[in-house]
Amino acid sequence: MASNTMAGLVAGSHARNEMHVLHGEQRPPTRQSVAKLCRVCGDEIGVREDGELFVACHECGFPVCKPCYEYERSEGNQSCPQCNTRYKRHKGCARVTGDDEGSLDGDDFHDEFQIKNTRDQQNVFAPSENGDYNPQQWHPNGPAFSAAGSVAGKDFEGEKDMYNNDEWKDRVEKWKTRQEKKGLVSKDGGNDPGDDDEFLLAEARQPLWRKVPIPSSKISPYRIVIILRLVILAFFFRFRILTPAYDAFPLWLISVICEIWFAFSWILDQFPKWQPTNRETYLERLSMRFEREGEPNRLSPVDVFVSTVDPLKEPPIITANTVLSILALDYSVEKVSCYVSDDGASMLLFDSLAETAEFARRWVPFCKKHTIEPRAPEFYFSQKIDYLKDKVDPSFVKERRAMKREYEEFKVRINALVAKAQKKPEEGWTMQDGTPWPGNNTRDHPGMIQVYLGSEGALDVEGKELPRLVYVSREKRPGYQHHKKAGAMNALVRVSAVLTNAPFMLNLDCDHYINNSKAVREAMCFLMDPQLGKKLCYVQFPQRFDGIDRHDRYANRNVVFFDINMKGLDGIQGPVYVGTGCVFNRQALYGYDPPVSEKRPKMTCDCWPSWCSCCCGGSRKSKSKKKVHRGFLGGLYSKKKKMMGKNYSRKGSAPVFDLEEIEEGLEGYDELEKSSLMSQKNFEKRFGQSPVFITSTLMEDGGLPEGTNSTALIKEAIHVISCGYEEKTEWGKEIGWIYGSVTEDILTGFKMHCRGWKSVYCVPKRAAFKGSAPINLSDRLHQVLRWALGSVEIFLSRHCPLWYGYGGKLKWLERLAYINTIVYPFTSIPLLAYCTIPAVCLLTGKFIIPTLTNFASIWFMALFLSIIVTGVLELRWSGVSIQDWWRNEQFWVIGGVSAHLFAVFQGLLKVLFGVDTNFTVTSKAADDAEFGELYLFKWTTLLIPPTTLIILNMVGVVAGVSDAINNGYASWGPLFGKLFFAFWVIVHLYPFLKGLMGRQNRTPTIVVLWSILLASIFSLVWVRIDPFLPKQTGPVLKQCGVEC
């Protein structure tokens, strides 16, 4: 059926040619205009008085605008950022210290006496690449400074309207004070009329973000203790290995092996946290730079992806709240598009989105008028706060009451849809016009697309445009591998590229709503940075959760990982991708390499003999060529290029060209190189057979090709979500979300980091996103089981960080972090053994450690002390509470002896033998209203190992104490060491025991039976029939009978 973007649902199968689409005339893509941009601030480079392009450095021609050139001469190093050659004075520029006398023209003599020039010469900061203020340092391997936004004060005449007079004077005075402290403004010359404009100019040229260094008083002791702990570990293992316990040699050997593995695991976890980083953003500067008064909005467009599978398990009202929070973003509406992936082809979700789109016409203008947070109505109306705080509009209370009533009516309509969907008709679902729902067979249905709202859709109640909302359900047919969530995300990447093609993409789970309406702006402070932005593959936000009990019994918030580990990775090459709350650079997902920084060529001297130059410089030159060779399109066709003997580099600031130019040849390359440029056939092998999509991949700044119409784009979108589109392409291998693991997020981020991309961790003061997490024990263990299983799959694949990506651009500490993410499930085996050893020692009277001397006991005490101090100092610099840290330690043991253990064996069975084992969960109703799910018990086999460990150690404690009482005072000394380890196990498993018993202290019989059975069998193996009687060493004496 033919349809335009707003006519209704478009469904079709490209392979079966089931969709009839009007063939509009398509004009060929046109060459995009190329503007010469400053490589420092990102503004256009102006022209000189004679009309020629301004060139700052005549040695290398590095593109720098005049304001950046003059600032570098007056306040910086007076040198070119690329070749390090001293800048020569240009006509009309003020003289600075170090200029040659002969270079001063007579006509420009008055420039020597200029005090300031508010148009061209401004006192601004000189930030380095990471955003830090560092005006005097020169880094020979990188840009000297990174400022953005060279504009005149007249561009900000409207900015004063944002503040009242007192606030504006306040800001200007604070700015003057800062400038005076730095010696950039004199105290007696600060009352000129141009000061306000000068302030705006200087403010706009500041970096959009900066690193906030952790005080050395906090981080230095932390690093010292880490080194001391390493030294102590070395001496500890020396003692443990050289003094075996011969009376319990097997136990001693097992314990030493476990301890060595724990030390290895600690190193993998600890050293990536060596240089933790905090960052802060400046949203006002972002607005001043890209949203100037009287000019078009220059913020980059964003496509937002929401993925869902089963609306009966993922309630539609939760998905609707997530979509509403996206549509109400504090961002230009024409630059936001929301794509909802329905991988279950559910008519329930389709109808729910139609209702959501209608409700959004009222909800979005209400949010923006009153600047409310969060902009998900369910969570906004359920807040237990004073919602009148800071509200001054008299109509707010009335409008809020009306909006709350409308939302409740909206919920009722959604509930009615859910109730209707509980029972599917025999003939299948039918749409409102009487046609059968195309997705009645969820495993065999065509691709479906429905576009709501947007520029051609309904306006809000105030007559303003709303962001585009698109429903997408990819085609599914029997016999095709669909790759679950990763396949659905790749389908969204292609659909969005055809319909909107925003350069950046935000992906969210259906239960993660936007809690901070400025979250996308926070990400843009990094992604639109003129220096760092081109090298970023994504900006990751931490996950925060609602609905978790106050004590966080099962460490659902995962605070230690998000506030310690991720900040540590941010100081290396960037945080790992965690599956949601992440803003991607589209070019990075396409498998391209990051732009190669242009470095200053190596200085050579003609006085050295030629043979010396070959020996000393040959290796570096060869290495440089190799690096450039991988630059163009990520080394995609390196084999072909090697055969042609050519080297290619993709320049960071170069424009992106249309598909026709690929076959004709690109500008900027020699004639000899044009013969080996990639053809359309090569692109099709990589990206698939869609000319529209291929063209979009070459448009680095996003946007659609000229001459396209909505009908043709919808037809092409149906094509790119067909089930056979990815066959014989690199989707899921080198492009998009990577296949091969249930934790596709780790693989996807790992591949990008291997190519040399960087990522950034953004932690705004107000949490960017919030979601829901399973808070009962069984569901939490199954969630951890899934994550651990994905890590095991990666460990057994070709993408394992232990052997993949060497020779690339992955930093060593980053590799250690990725190795830790895939080997941590295997810690479950030594952990299970180590938790069993205390019970065995108590039941047998043996111990893994021989009698300690005073000197040997020092190492034990030092080790325990270093562990405690490391934890305390880690909490000190991170700000994590001790309760969160302790819950994390407890769940590390609980998950390690249950979910991680099962994941190892399930992963081995799945990868090596093709056996896919599933652990089913059956629920039992809960009676509690608040946090009722916390006490909900669901039987699962994951509960057996920890329960068995608890019983074993409790039996061991009873046996050990009874034996000591029976044998007298001398046996109490060795007992304390055994009891310490047993209590260590019990204390760590205490939350598990509490969850097992529940509030009503009821436990299913099957758990008790299995656990008691295993514990009894294990105990009988080691315990003699009379374990508490005195041991006889002489001959056995029997009492004489009557006939003696």
Q: What are the catalytic residues? A: 343, 745
Strands of 769-772's sheet in order across: 513-514, 769-772, 544-546
Contact call for residues 633 and 678 (beta carbons, < 8 A): yes
Contact call for residues 307 and 343 (beta carbons, < 8 A): yes
Report CA 91 to chain centroid distance, whole Å.
49
Task: Give the tokens for residue 773.
Answer: 């997490």
Contact call for residues 776 and 936 (beta carbons, < 8 A): yes
β pairing state of 536-540 and 758-761: parallel
β pairing state of 278-281 and 504-509: unpaired
Task: Give the tokens for residue 273.
Answer: 């946290």
Report CA torsion sign: 939, 943, 948, 953.
Answer: negative
Cβ atoms within 10 Å, residue 62 = 19
Contact call for residues 41 and 11 (beta carbons, < 8 A): no
**Exposed/middle/buried for residue 682 (C-beta within 10 Å: 0-12, 13-18, 19+):** middle
Contact call for residues 520 and 331 (beta carbons, < 8 A): yes
Sole residue written with tokens 């936004």: 149
Task: Give the tokens for residue 910.
Answer: 């799945």
378 to 382, 408, 607, 671, 903: CA distances (angstroms): 6, 9, 76, 61, 36
854 to 243, 843, 858, 860, 975: CA distances (angstroms): 14, 27, 7, 10, 18
Report CA 365 to chain centroid distance, whole Å.
31
* 3-state SS class at 44: strand
Q: Cα dihedral angle (849, 851, 855, 861), rounded to 10 degrees?
A: 50
* 3-state SS class at 481: coil
- Beta-strand runs (E) in 169-301: 209-212, 278-281
Contact call for residues 26 and 707 (beta carbons, < 8 A): yes
Burial of 948-975, coded b for 16+ CB within 10 Å and e otherwise, reads bbbbbbbbbbebbeebbeeeeeeeeebb
187 to 176, 179, 436, 882: CA distances (angstroms): 9, 10, 78, 48
Size (the chain), residues: 1044
498: nearest Cα among 754, 259, 715, 251: 715
167 to 161, 162, 170, 381, 436: CA distances (angstroms): 11, 9, 5, 32, 61
- Beta-strand runs (E) in 465-623: 468-473, 504-509, 513-514, 536-540, 544-546, 582-585
Rounded CA separation 591/349 (Å): 32
Rounded CA separation 615/613 (Å): 6
Rounded CA separation 253/450 (Å): 64
Contact call for residues 467 and 451 (beta carbons, < 8 A): no
Torsions phi, psi for 245 (to 5 deg)? -95, 100
